[in-house]
Structure 1
Amino acid sequence: MIFIPPNPAQHAAIAATLPPVNLLIGERSLGRGSGGTFSHRNTATGQFQMDIPMAGRDEVVMAVAAARAAYPAWRAMKPVQRRQILDRFADLIDQNMERFTQIAVVENGIPLSTMVHGMAPRISAWVRYYAGWADKIEGLVTGASPAGHFEYTVPEPYGVIGHIITWNAPLLSLAMKVPPSLAVGNTVVIKPAQSTPFSSQLFAELALEAGVPPGVINVLPGGVAAGAALVSHPGVDKISFTGGPEAARAIMRAASDTLKPLVFELGGKSANIVFPDVDIASTAAYCATFGLSNSGQGCALPTRLIIHEAVYEPFLEALQATVEQLPYGDPLNENVIVGPMVDTKASGRVLDMIGAARAGNVGRFLAGGTAVQGQGNFIQPTLIADTDPYASIAQKEVFGPVLCAFKVRDENEAVALANATEYGLAAYVQTNDLNVSQRLIHRLHAGTVYINRATPALHPASPFGGVGLSGFGREGGKAGLDEFIRIKGVGVSVMPE
């Protein structure tokens, strides 16, 4: 395996350009919060980068009040004006994309290659897409009678939306959640993860520069206490959360007192079914590279490789060769696919899962499976063959650089194994047989199915979300817009003269 150690001086130079993080509440920018501080460290080098002020319940109360105060004017603004502001916002994002990219790499260790060729180009596209919807929200005439009675619908914003942002792709999460909320007239309180506050800081600053009024966007870096206060606050009308099932359950309990509606984009354990008619070399390269990208820290990554027995062994050989040749290490190196884990807690958790799999003899370790000693939170890209399908590492979301391979006899066994998990975010199918792919689209228990080396392009017009433990509700497209709209019914009787 090719390990590329990080260059501490290069990382420190970028860290010196990080924006100061404050709590953005209405017109105020607070340098401290009641939640204390978080010592942010570069996950690739371990270097201290900044003390982050943390919001607590007091700041949540202030931010919700600011959002509610700003709501009437933002809702009343002409939709074309909201569209124009969001278009200017997209322009500013484009102008600052290199800055966003560098921030992302030293913020959570996402490889530069992933940002430049994957996430970065999508951000402004999401803002522009939802800017275009701002002046196109329509109601419907739902019924009429000759007697002069008719009914119609009025789409309305919810009010204040609480957005709890994921740490593994914070900029993409912001782009998927905030623009549709603003386009239809909501105001927002954003709680980024404590480990990834810098993306949200710059995102909000550019929104204000574009003309979003103070109070329409409020940003509160914080931990569990801030999130719990935001969810339980009666002044928050809806919560959109991206994260894990355990946190989602806690949010549901906290939201139950106010019967607050929720959108959940949670974890995944996506299957990738490989049939015998594929090109082995290119498909194996795709399966390994994509499945291990960003150190496996992606909810929709295909980490369960379900391979037809007719090509199982040659496909494993090609997989192993690719995994062993993947450059991993310094996320600032443009050749690196697999960077560091987000922190020592995450790397320890993944190593514990790998250790338990070794001890339980749940499969053949063909590559990786160990940490890089003395080099940050790096774990070797790992491939396990002949995996016990009911072992923990095959059922639980690892969120680390681990691929599990399984052998199946036919399509039915492949589908049964693919669906044998509580998750249902995405599924992948590799075949040149149109009939097989079309059958599996309907048979696989997943929110999205990707065919033939497709990846979640996350085009803003395409809805994205899961079933089962992967959550409910959708982000993207008209479905993602509708999550932040309430429909009011109106009935009118025209009285005779």
Structure 2
Amino acid sequence: MVTTTDTATTGENDPAVDISLPRGLLIGGDLLTQSSGGTHGHIYPATGQVNATIPLAGATEIDQAVTAGWEAHREWMSFPPARRRELLFDVADAVRENLSQFAQLNTHDYAVPVSYAATAPLLEEFLRHFAGYVDKPHGASTPVSGSFDINLIEREPYGVVGVIAPWNGSLVVAAACVAPALAAGNAVVLKPSELAPFAAIRFGELCSEVGLPAGLVNVVPSGPDGGAALVRHPGIRKIHFTGGTATAREVLREAATNLTPVVAELGGKSADIVFDDADLDLATAISAHQGPLMQSGQSCACASRILVQSSVYDAFVEKFVATVGAANIGDPFDPAVSFGPVISESAADRILGEIDRAVSERAGELILGGNRVGSDRIGDRLAQGYYVEPTVFAAVDNASRLARTETFGPVVSVIRFETEADAVRIANDTSYGLNAFVHTTDLGRTHRVARQLEAGSVWVNHFSDISPQGPYGGYKQSGFGRTGGLEGLHEFLQVKNIRIAMR
């Protein structure tokens, strides 16, 4: 394999250990440094400085990746199931051996604090889980009315599937999508965002290094043009897209060219419901983490609408503001830091614009944050980074734009409610339905409320913690299809019926 790397430079006295940043397109086992899609200067969000120049996939490279995928798929399916299973275990072992490297690459990718960079262990967990399904039967045999014919129902791989990952979760998508796709027998063309390519490329390299067929996992960083070429390629038999609702509509339009089926895991405006019998300390800790702090609110699972029962509203708000306000903002490579920058200058401008608009529209009372983080707090070296303060609005109207639009930043709304019925009504009054959070010690209330919430996942006294055993996906405009669980495995298998006449 040909490998080419840049050495990351994030400034003098950087606590990060220097690390080689993989750059290129991984196609058919080779890392290509020239492409038809041009180049992209990757900016490290904590400093606002370019830390590597990467080639981008164009239509030519997408076609090469799909061709390599089909060749690898045929080789992969010629292996005995036990060998495929063991090779996936080998990939999981390689991921474990490189956990520290993956954590650093994640931070270089999008400046997520290393204290939150726990996605590589998740990748290992998903690989091990789905490797166990490689040699398990997926089909069935059923009787046919009025006949002694043999009627077989088989599940077969699609062949080559396209997986489009967002910048804020390339390794999570590799875990939740690539692992089951490989276990099901498919080859994968993984398209990470040009904003966060490094960890995904390294994962693809590991797949080749442990002995997966060359081209079974192709990694093609690209922007919108490369993504469109992937979605409309006739050799791609299914697409799994994770991202925003607007982009999902473009994906569906492109996929319609060949009637390619699509799974879409989209955005959210999740309700986080705090009842008056909740453990307020636990509810505060979870809400602060799940709301503005985790990935600086740049998560589809962000609990951006915090619904609090009136009798504990003031007490919760006081605890919540104190917890969020105490967040350690600074260098993402510092293990003590819990809050980093947003992804780009344009994202910072957009988020600050939404804050200003909410203030001008009197959508709620701004009680914390609302500004860029100054150099007096983070130092001169990070002053050009894209830091936006954790921001809390209280007494928010659920009908406001602030409460209805996905901000995708460290901005949360606190909304008062009176009764259980009010909480459910307000929580469901949104076009999204990815996650919901409930804080209560009443088991009966837990069951009642969870079953009424229009969300694909409901987390009770817990932050969102996806696992390979649990299906994850959305209701309403938060998408369709699932990752994780048997449901997630079946997304990468198509059903065939075989009837054999017995005469």
Give the TM-score taking structure 1 as reference length: 0.95
Residue 467 of structure 2: aligned partner: 459
8 Å Cα contact 1:297-1:401 kept in structure 2? yes
Distance 1:475 1:10 in 2: 41
SS where residue 115 of structure 2 aligns? Answer: helix
Letter in 2 for 1:51: T
Segments of 4+ moved more than 6 angstroms: none
Partner of 1:120: 120
Q: Which moved more, 1:281-290 or 1:202-211?
A: 281-290
Looking at structure 1, the residues matched to 181 and 359 of structure 2 have their Cα atoms a distance apart, in angstroms, of 46
What is the CA–CA distance in structure 2 between the aligned matches of 1:43 and 1:325, rounded to whole Å?
Answer: 22
Measured after TM superposition, the shift of residue 10 of structure 1 is: 4.7
Partner AA of 1:88 in structure 2: D
Contact 1:7-1:330 within 8 A present in 2 as well: no
Distance in 2 between residues matched to 1:375 and 1:491, nearest whole Å: 66
Q: How does 1:321-470 map to 2 (within 5 A)?
A: 321-373=322-374, 374-452=383-461, 454-470=462-478
**Secondary structure, aligned partner of 1:194:** coil
Deviation at 1:332, TM superposition (A): 1.4
Q: Is the 8 A contact 2:15 2:334 kept in 1?
A: no
- Partner Cα distance (1:28, 1:318) in 2: 53
2:248 is aligned to: 248
CA 1:218 to 1:491, structure 2 compared with 1: closer, same or farther past 3 Å?
same
Q: How does 1:64-83 map to 2 (within 5 A)?
A: 64-83=66-85
Does residue 8 in structure 1 map to residue 11 in structure 2? Answer: yes
> 1:346-382 CA distances to partner (integer Å, 9 max, x unpaired)?
1111111111111111111111010024341001111
d(CA) in 2 for partners of 1:181, 1:120: 18
Structure 2: distance between partners of 1:420 and 1:11: 46
Which structure 1 segments of 5+ residues have no match? Answer: 1-5
Q: For residues 460 and 131 of structure 2, what CA distance do their matches in structure 1 show?
A: 30
Change in Cα spacing, 1:481 to 1:124, as seen in structure 2 (3 Å) is same
Contact 2:75-2:213 at 8 Å conserved across structures: no
> Which segment drifts farther, 178-187 or 238-247?
178-187
For 1:94, the aligned partner's letter is R
- Aligned pairs (5 A) from 1:95-494: 95-115=97-117, 118-144=118-144, 147-292=147-292, 293-373=294-374, 374-452=383-461, 454-494=462-502
| 8 A contact 2:69–2:187 mirrored in 1 | yes
1:289 and 1:337 in contact (8 A); partners too = no
Conserved 8 A contact 1:83-1:183? yes
Closer, same or farther in 2 for the Cα pair 1:448/1:198, shift >3 Å? same
CA gap 1:222/1:57 in 2 versus in 1, 3 angstroms: same
Moved more, 273-282 or 486-495: 273-282
Counterpart-to-counterpart distance in 2, 1:387 and 1:211: 54
SS in 2 for 1:161: strand
Aligned to 1:3: none
Determine helix, strand or coil for the equivalent of 1:148. strand
> Secondary structure, in 3 states, of the residue corresponding to 1:366?
strand
1:90 to 2:92 alignment: yes
Structure 1 counterpart of 2:3: none
Contact 2:114 2:335 in 1 (8 A): yes
Identical columns (%): 40
Cα pair 1:143 1:152 within 8 Å, conserved = no
> What are the ranges of 5 or more consecutive residues in structure 2 without an aligned counterpart?
1-8, 375-382
**CA separation in 2, counterparts of 1:140 and 1:282?**
46
Tell me the distance in 2 between the aligned counterparts of 1:66 and 1:351. Answer: 44
1:179 and 1:154 map into 2 onto residues whose CA distance is 21
**Is the contact made by 1:158 and 1:486 (CA closer than 8 Å) also made in structure 2?**
yes
Q: Deviations over 1:403-446 (max 9, x none)?
A: 10000110111111101111100001111111111001110000
- 1:147 to 1:394, Cα distance in 2 relative to 1, 3 A: closer
CA RMSD of aligned residues (A): 1.6
Q: CA deviation at 1:120?
A: 3.4
Q: 1:289 to 1:145 in 2, by over 3 A?
A: closer
Distance 1:29 1:338 in 2: 33
Per-residue deviation, 1:335 = 2.2
The 1:7–1:491 alpha-carbon spacing in structure 2 relative to 1, beyond 3 Å, is closer
SS, match of residue 21 in structure 2? coil
Decide whether the 8 Å contact of 1:114 with 1:294 is kept in 2: yes
CA distance in 1, matches of 2:220, 2:15: 25
Q: Where does residue 37 of structure 1 map in the other structure?
A: 39
Q: Structure 2 CA distance, aligned partners of 1:35 and 1:319?
A: 46
Which stretch shifts more, 311-320 or 126-135?
311-320
d(CA) in 2 for partners of 1:469, 1:129? 29
Which amino acid is 2:301 matched to? Answer: A
- Output the amino acid matched with 2:122: R
CA contact (8 A) 1:387 1:406 kept: yes
Number of residues paired by the alignment? 486
Aligned AA for 2:103?
A: T
